[in-house]
Amino acid sequence: TPLYFLGITHTHHAPTPQLSYHTPTVIITMFSQATRSIASTAARRAAVRSTTRAASSVSARVVAAPLANKLSALALLAATTTAAIVKNNQDNYVVSCDKLPVEGVAGTNQERTFLAVKPDGVQRGLIGDIIARFEKRGYKLVGLKMVWPTEEMAGNHYKDLAKKPFYPGLCKFFSSGPIICMCWEGKDIIAQGRQMLGETQPLASKPGSIRGDYSIDLGRNICHGSDSPESAAHELNMWFPEGVNDWKKTVDAWVYE
């Protein structure tokens, strides 16, 4: 007998039950039951997982407790030391929500200077060595690019020497090939940078300085460095009008007290 009241027909020629398209209520009921069954199973599994995690957590705490007791003194010491390092580091930096000017802040760990490897230093392949010296000293490179300056750019760079007899030749040489423009940041970088470069006259430069090690002739003295905060501001704004990169070195705590 066909089961019309369930919306299912059953004949000898079609042993598989078929759903009638005229009984949407039955279909909805069947899906609802299946959904409840799946949800019930998922809930039971979630409960088991939750119980297992809770038990594992308790076990882990019980096992780890003796080790935690042994390490508590070391943890306290590490936390205290870290806090002291962070405090000292913050004291040496200017705290501000505004971006630093390209020349940095003179007299702080964020003082900046302009350094250039001149055409002779570029031709002699000394770029890497010069950068390495400043990095190993602990200073931070925040700007770097290669530029082939025009004579006009060279003249603007050396405008404070415009009345000197060697000024035309200096500008011509400075624009004779590409130079490496750099912005370095760190404590006393203007004065320290000048010492690391050496004297303008190579003969007067101490061994160990860049000019003392690599330069012979006054007209080929390899590099340039700002000699004051004012000249650093002028040169950095000239060569890096787009600005430089403000970033933090993770090793500064091992460079600064």
CB 23 within 8 A of CB 5: no
29 is in an annotated binding site: no
**Buried b / exposed e along 124-162 (16+ C-beta atoms within 10 A):** eebeeebbebbeeeebbbbbbeeeebeeebbbebbeeee
Sign of CA dihedral 102, 106, 109, 112: positive
112 is in an annotated binding site: no
221 is in an annotated binding site: yes
186 sits in the region (left: phi over 0; alpha: psi -120 to 50; else beta) called: left
Active site residue 224: yes
Residues 10, 12, 13, 224: which is the catalytic one?
224
118 is in an annotated binding site: yes
Separation of alpha carbons 124 and 108, rounded Å: 34
Q: Binding site residues for ATP, as ranges?
A: 118, 166, 194, 200, 211, 221
User: Which residues participate in catalysis according to the annotation?
Assistant: 224
